């Protein structure tokens, strides 16, 4: 048979397949989530996230050391404070858990890139992402709290802040506050299209951030909506976001692609706790090859258009990239 086009020619062997790959991964694109608990001594396994830990302030450097050894050069910090109140005042305390963690990390690993999650849900006694007015989050009052929190992280030495609250106008408020205080060079990675997803359950258990009443559908996005994600990203870029994010990743690959194509800023995606836990559970049951599923899932996110992936598998993926199994 006379065939002019034979695509299989470029699949015939590992070398040619790697040479012709359209999507390439690097450990530099991976961000590892780290939970720091103020009252904890040592580290504690997170039951809902097998293989992950809460770190005390006395062991947070251990988590960073493991990242460095694996070739991962950045993390995103989530704090679990000793004190919670209605406004989440521990979030901007200069001696708060995240502020102390940044100091400890930077003292030992000054070049390690530290991103901080900026939200109130882990710090409020009601578990919602801002100050309440009755049973609703007061958007505009919350902006002031978020801006104070972001500034306190920058003062403590954070390299980047990442507001995850989904309040309207929070990027502009944070950018203005950082600039006024002389932190013009601190970038903002906005959780721009953060959906009200069922995939967050294990995280809320890990961070102790489940709302005490109601849910977050009033401020997180409806999973039915696509155009709204483009609107949210456009607003964040207009307000000064340096990086935009889609969260979760796997169920929203179409959104990652559309937003990546539409905006000339880097695109991040968060492979969230439920995605990680499902792979772990299926692997434990002997239903899937965990290593291959991990690699394929991450690859799909980058192929969809992400430049940065926040993932609990960051260390394992970095090793897989270095081995040439993915990347």
CB atoms within 10 A of CB 82: 11
- Rounded to an integer, what distance in angstroms lies between the CA atom of residue 296 and that of residue 299? 5
Please confirm, yes or no, whether 247 is among the known catalytic residues: yes
The helix-helix angle for 273-284 and 290-304 (nearest 10°) equals 150
Query: Roughly what angle, to the nearest 10 degrees, separates helices 60-70 and 97-108?
Result: 50
Residue 175, SS3 per DSSP: helix
**How far apart, in whole angstroms, are the C-alpha atoms of residue 267 and residue 86?**
33
- Considering 247, 280, 315, 323, which one is annotated as catalytic? 247
Active-site pick, 43, 148, 194, 315: 194
Give the Cα separation of 64 and 202 in Å (integer).
Answer: 22
CA 318 and chain centroid, separation: 17
Give SS3 for 137. strand
The candidate with the shortest Cα–Cα distance to 103, out of 132, 85, 77, 121, is 77
Active site residue 95: no
Closest CA to 78 of 249, 203, 247, 248: 203
All residues at 6 or more sequence positions from 167 whose CB lies less than 8 Å from its CB, including other chains: 129, 130, 137, 139, 142, 143, 146, 219
Write the CA distances from 113 to 8, 100, 105, 299, 327, integer angstroms: 42, 16, 10, 23, 22
Q: What is the set of active-site residues?
A: 194, 247
């Amino acid at each position: 048979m006379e065939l002019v086009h034979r695509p299989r020619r470029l699949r015939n062997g590992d070398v040619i397949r790697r040479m012709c790959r359209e999507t390439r991964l690097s450990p530099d694109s991976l961000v590892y989530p780290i939970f720091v608990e103020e009252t904890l001594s040592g580290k504690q396994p997170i039951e809902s996230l097998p293989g992950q830990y809460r770190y005390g302030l006395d062991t947070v450097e251990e988590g960073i050391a493991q990242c460095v050894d694996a070739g991962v050069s950045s993390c995103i910090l989530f704090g679990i404070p000793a004190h919670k109140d209605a406004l989440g005042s521990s979030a901007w305390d200069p001696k708060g858990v995240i502020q102390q963690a940044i100091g400890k990390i930077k003292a030992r690993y000054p070049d390690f890139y530290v991103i901080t999650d900026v939200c109130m849900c882990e710090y409020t006694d009601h578990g919602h992402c801002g100050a309440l007015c009755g049973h609703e989050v007061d958007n505009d009052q919350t902006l002031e709290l978020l801006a104070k929190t972001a500034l306190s992280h920058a003062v403590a030495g954070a390299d980047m802040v990442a507001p995850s609250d989904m309040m309207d106008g929070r990027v502009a408020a944070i950018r203005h506050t950082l600039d006024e205080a002389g932190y013009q060079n601190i970038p903002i990675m906005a959780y721009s299209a953060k959906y009200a997803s069922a995939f967050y359950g294990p995280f809320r258990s890990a961070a102790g951030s489940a709302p005490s009443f109601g849910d977050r559908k009033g401020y997180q996005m409806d999973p039915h909506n696509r155009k709204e994600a483009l609107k949210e990203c456009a607003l964040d870029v207009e307000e000064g976001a340096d990086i935009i994010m889609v969260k979760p990743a796997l169920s929203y690959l179409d959104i990652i692609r559309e937003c990546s194509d539409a905006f000339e800023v880097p695109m991040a995606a968060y492979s969230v706790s439920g995605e990680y836990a499902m792979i772990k559970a299926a692997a434990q049951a002997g239903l899937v090859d965990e290593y291959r599923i991990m690699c394929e899932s991450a690859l799909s996110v980058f192929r969809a258009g992400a430049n940065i992936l926040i993932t609990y598998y960051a260390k394992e993926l970095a090793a897989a990239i270095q081995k040439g199994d993915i990347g």
